[in-house]
Amino acid sequence: MASSPQSTTAGLAENPQVAARLVEREKLRTSRFDSITSLFMALILFIGTFVTMLFIIWLTSRWSFAPVAIEPIIENPAGRGENPEGFERDFEPPGAEEVEELMEPTLQDTLEAVTDAVSTVAGALATTDTASTATTAGTGAGDSRPPGPPGEGEDIIPRFERWQLNFSARDVRSYATQLDYFKIELGAIGGSIQGVDVASSLSASIKKSFIKDTASEKRLYFMWSSPSPLMQFDRQLLQSANIQLANRQMLKFIPKDLENKLAVIELEYSASKGHPSVTEIAKTVFESKSNGGDYVFEVVSQRYRKPRK
């Protein structure tokens, strides 16, 4: 049987604890206002977090960190330039004794020499690397240094003889992009022009410059050692810079930073093959390879020298 409102009210009046519980329940019930307010609070928190993350991404993208400096590898190959001071390598005119030895002996001198040779033992004289008083005879002992730049140094094949750089490109545009990435500049030398014409910024608007004092140019450079299709690309780029090429040699100038990176790559590769010293390297061939949107030089082959006995 359904109860009437009067009977329910009467029941609540008879049980005050139930009435108080119902009143508290009504107070704790979520209202429409609370639901909408919570929705907006969550939305504001989400938008605030999203904007903060975007701001952090924007801020970090504007930061520029300087690349870690690589300690330069300095090589000092031995060469045969102007001889340093020292008895063993000094060139001296023949002394009085040597002049006499070069003169045509007489018959009597020849007979006396034959007689002496029968009764004497031959001896050998060797010069020493000292600053002691020398006789009037010449003291030069030849030059044991290999060809190369002047001065003393280590027994190293110079980089310009030891290194080979290989490139691969589908067209002149991609080839110029590679050169610009490595900051390699093209040049032309020789002919009737005294100096070097240089072309840079090859993939954009090519810039032309001129080096009159070639002695001041200290960068490592390479020439073509064998015919290649890329030679035509070099020719096109230099001609685009209005550089004359008649009877001239084309060059590639390597910046110092790239030269040092190549030296580090070369030494790491040779060390991994059991040759930790650059004195053991005879030839290193590098190749430019695409690495995503960048380029990197890798060692594709390396030959080593036979150890000296």
Angle subtended by helix axes 172-181 and 230-240, to nearest 10: 80
Same domain membership, residue 226 and residue 92: no
Q: Are residues 163 and 231 in the same domain?
A: yes
Rounded CA-CA distance 86/106 in Å is: 37
Q: Is there a contact between 186 and 250 (Cβ–Cβ < 8 Å)?
A: yes
Give pTM, 2 decimals.
0.58
Instruction: Report yes or no on 62 lying in a domain.
Output: no
| Inside any domain, residue 275 | yes
pLDDT digits (tens, 9 = 90+) for 249-299: 999 999 999 999 999 999 999 999 999 999 999 999 999 998 888 899 999
120 and 170, same structural domain? Answer: no
Q: Report the number of distinct structural domains present in the chain.
A: 2
Do 124 and 219 have their domain in common?
A: no
Dihedral class, residue 108 (left if φ above 0, else alpha if ψ from -120 to 50, else beta): alpha
Q: Which domain holds residue 89?
A: 80-153
| Predicted confidence (pLDDT) per residue in 151-166, tens digit | 567 788 999 899 999 9
Of the candidates 253, 221, 258, the one whose C-alpha atom is nearest the C-alpha of residue 70 is 258
Claim to verify: residue 166 and residue 281 sit in the same structural domain: yes
Of 67-71, 78-82, 296-300, which has the strongest mean pLDDT?
296-300
Are residues 256 and 212 both part of a single domain? yes
